[in-house]
Structure 1
Amino acid sequence: MSTSDTKDLRIPARYYARVADLLLRDGVDVDDLLRPLGLDLGTLSQPGATLPLYQVDLMVQAGVQMTGRRDLGFELGKSLKLSSHDIVGYGILSSPNVDYALRLVSRFFRLIMPSFQARYRRDQRHMEFTFQAVAATSQVCLDVHLEALASAAHFEIRELMQGQMPDYALYLSLSEPAHVQRYQELREARCHFIPSVPPEVRFVFPASAGDKALALADDVALKAAEERCRSMVQRALNRQDVSGWVRMMLREARHGMPSMDEMAHTLNMSPRSLDRYLQREGAGYRALLQQVRHERAQRLLLNSGTSITQIALELGYTDAANFTRAFRKIEGVSPSVFRTRST
């Protein structure tokens, strides 16, 4: 990951102010940690402050290295409350039931953690809620965030249910961590550590859990919170060109390229609205996808020893033959010839 590739993706700083608090508690000189990153505690604590993803990555790596704590993500998640998530948290608390609250989170999750997307679905038997990584980071940073999402969501849903959480299944895209005993604190969870592609955290509850009424339900407050969330998403889109944001997300997508529907979901808009934004900027999703896919193909061919088949799968092609045809159409030569000529 390079700083230029991720400079447009900014993460709310409030979560890393909490990380700094945890590091201070462990005796870390946080000023020494933050200074080389061009940060200080005052910056992290400013209302509405954001950090570029690469800066988040460096801070998390330094924090883990200085403390030796691989459970930093779990502890971070446990320390968060619904009120930690600003207006989205207010909307969650004002929702009529758990089902509505999780739908609201999936709609506005980019205001909480734009390097992940949240998905929610419910059928007659199950209620499934998933956080999926959509931007590349170091493995250390990814693991910390996966564990933070797992523990935060557990304790926050438990709070919503007033402690009456049913037993459920929790799947994390991690190898079993050395601190696996900490997961006993998630009393209702049956934890499964299974590395997977793409990286995600998935909760599977019985469908009936969604009907649990919330103690602070308030229709007027909920409408106000949702309107403010929509306004914040719109302002975020207006501050930057949408085609540039889409290009960056495609460039940093993990394990395959998102469809237009998936990208629209991440942006909390309909595919038609995304298409309209892109057309207004003289861009199209298919053209952006083709351009970024080819750029990534060139980079992988030049800078890694990855096989042609693995690169094809990484870019979302069904097999190496389809990748070779698409690459030759643009470049004029096959991927293997391109790699040989460039070495």
Structure 2
Amino acid sequence: MAEPQIAAQFLRHVANCVELTGHSAAGLLARIGVTREVLEDPDGLIPLASFVSFFEDAAELVRNPHFGLHAGRLSGSDSLGPLSFLFLSAPDLRTAFTSFTRHLATMQQASRNQFADEGGWATFSYGVLDQSLTRRRQDAEYSIGAMVSLARQFTGGEIELREVRFEHERVGDYARYRDFFGCDVFFEQDCNAIAMDGRYLDARGRVLSPSLHPILEEHLQRLAGRGTAASLSEQVRAMIEQAPLDAPPDLAEAARRLDLSVPTLHRRLTAEGTGWRKLVHEHRMETAARLLRNSRRNVSMIALDVGFAESASFTRAFARHFGVPPGRYRKGEGAAQK
């Protein structure tokens, strides 16, 4: 599988935020092999791993554990390239989140990106799916913070959040999170997400003309058309990864969404060297590994989180998959730990 990519324009805003602290971003850019010319290229792509690494190194350089939130607070109409303009030109906030969610994959691969509007609640969630990228807290806090900043700009500040959730454990002062988001913030959760009252979704935009929205959508659709179509196993893997842990996807439903029969889905996955059960199992193991790295939940709780009835069978399955049992993996042992 090709290395996941992200639009170089996304890194430009982060590099500029480093410069605003009085530090030079040149050394960090050189470390990941990216020049300023690449950052200014509207069609430029860089490895997602380089972007995430730059963010973590930048936080250490400026000695700010909340650097991701800081960069998110400063997000504006050009911080996410055409996606920022797409969001801010939508006719209403519902369309802004829906269209952003639909087109993010065009500019950032290997990410989970969902928007749900149900039961009076609206929820936007985000996460990097590449489990090998273990240092990604700054990216998560920036991405959630940037979406909140865009939503506030869109509505002229007339929006209040109900809650914010992060996958990782809290680092630094909780008051920083509370002050920025203006609501309760929870850590060591199943996903990175913001939740708000659904009544805000009808709010009209106050920044850009809605006439720009279809033009930007067409542009992003053309960009998407230039990419290589995902393999069937990649499409299935994305479905599995996007589903909540407590509501795993159904095989028949996945086949229906792909316009395939269940036997055909099995046959084509086998031809690609994998299978439905294998993909589900890999997702469970990768999720368990992330929870072991980024949370303080005990092994029994993590076993239940990823669908095992008891911890003994989970421990055996984990050891077979990673070569070490969960406790040793948490301590940093094993070839899979990066």
Structure 1, unpaired ranges of 5+: 301-305
Distance 1:136 1:258, change over 3 A: farther
Q: How far is the alpha carbon of 1:312 from its aligned partner?
A: 5.5
After TM superposition, the structure 1 stretch with the greater mean CA deviation from structure 2, 284-293 or 33-42, is 284-293
Q: How far is the alpha carbon of 1:295 from its aligned partner?
A: 9.0
Q: Secondary structure at the match of 2:70?
A: helix
Opposite residue 191 of structure 2, the aligned amino acid is P
Q: How far is the alpha carbon of 1:77 from its aligned partner?
A: 0.9
Q: Secondary structure at the match of 2:227?
A: helix
1:142 and 2:159 equivalent?
Answer: no
1:38 and 2:33 equivalent?
Answer: yes
Distance 1:138 1:223, change over 3 A: closer
Q: Secondary structure at the match of 2:83?
A: helix
Distance in 2 separating the partners of 1:156 and 1:15? 15
Distance in 1 separating the partners of 2:6 and 2:246? 22
Distance 1:254 1:14, change over 3 A: farther
Q: Secondary structure at the match of 1:82?
A: coil
Per-residue displacement from partner, 1:79-107 (whole Å, max 9, x unpaired)?
Answer: 22133333333332332211121121222
Per-residue displacement from partner, 1:243-296 (whole Å, max 9, x unpaired)?
Answer: 35766998x99996995689x99xxxx831699999778447616516846997
Cα pair 2:114 2:125 within 8 Å, conserved:
yes
1:218 and 2:220 equivalent?
Answer: no
Distance in 2 separating the partners of 1:17 and 1:249? 31
Distance in 2 separating the partners of 1:74 and 1:296? 26
Cα pair 1:133 1:198 within 8 Å, conserved:
no
Opposite residue 153 of structure 2, the aligned amino acid is E
RMSD between superposed Cα atoms in Å: 4.6
1:286 and 2:279 equivalent?
Answer: no
Distance in 2 separating the partners of 1:134 and 1:56? 14
Distance 1:160 1:134, change over 3 A: same
After TM superposition, the structure 1 stretch with the greater mean CA deviation from structure 2, 66-75 or 177-186, is 177-186
Q: Please name the residue that 1:192 is paired with.
A: 184
1:153 and 2:147 equivalent?
Answer: yes
Opposite residue 131 of structure 2, the aligned amino acid is A
Q: Please name the residue that 2:61 is paired with.
A: 66
Equivalenced residue count is: 311
Q: Secondary structure at the match of 2:115?
A: strand
Q: How far is the alpha carbon of 1:47 from its aligned partner?
A: 1.8
Cα pair 1:242 1:278 within 8 Å, conserved:
no
1:117 counterpart (108, 112, 125):
112
Q: Secondary structure at the match of 1:83?
A: coil
2:17 counterpart (14, 18, 22):
22
Per-residue displacement from partner, 1:3-39 (whole Å, max 9, x unpaired)?
Answer: xx8x621122222222222223334343333333323
Distance in 1 separating the partners of 2:249 and 2:222? 22
Q: Please name the residue that 1:88 is paired with.
A: 83
Distance 1:218 1:293, change over 3 A: closer
Distance 1:293 1:17, change over 3 A: closer
TM-score, structure 2 as length reference: 0.70
Distance in 1 separating the partners of 2:238 and 2:91? 36
TM-score, structure 1 as length reference: 0.69
Distance in 2 separating the partners of 1:228 and 1:323? 46
Distance in 2 separating the partners of 1:199 and 1:74? 17
Cα pair 1:8 1:248 within 8 Å, conserved:
no
Q: Which has the higher helix share?
A: 1
Distance in 2 separating the partners of 1:308 and 1:179? 27
1:233 and 2:238 equivalent?
Answer: no
Distance in 2 separating the partners of 1:17 and 1:107? 23
Q: How far is the alpha carbon of 1:236 from its aligned partner?
A: 2.6
Distance 1:8 1:62, change over 3 A: same
Q: Please name the residue that 1:169 is paired with.
A: 162
Q: Secondary structure at the match of 1:69?
A: coil
Cα pair 2:113 2:125 within 8 Å, conserved:
yes
Cα pair 2:164 2:183 within 8 Å, conserved:
yes
Distance in 2 separating the partners of 1:87 and 1:278? 38
Distance in 1 separating the partners of 2:146 and 2:124? 13
Q: Please name the residue that 1:202 is paired with.
A: 194
Q: Please name the residue that 1:272 is paired with.
A: 258
Distance in 2 separating the partners of 1:312 and 1:124? 29
Q: How far is the alpha carbon of 1:160 from its aligned partner?
A: 0.8
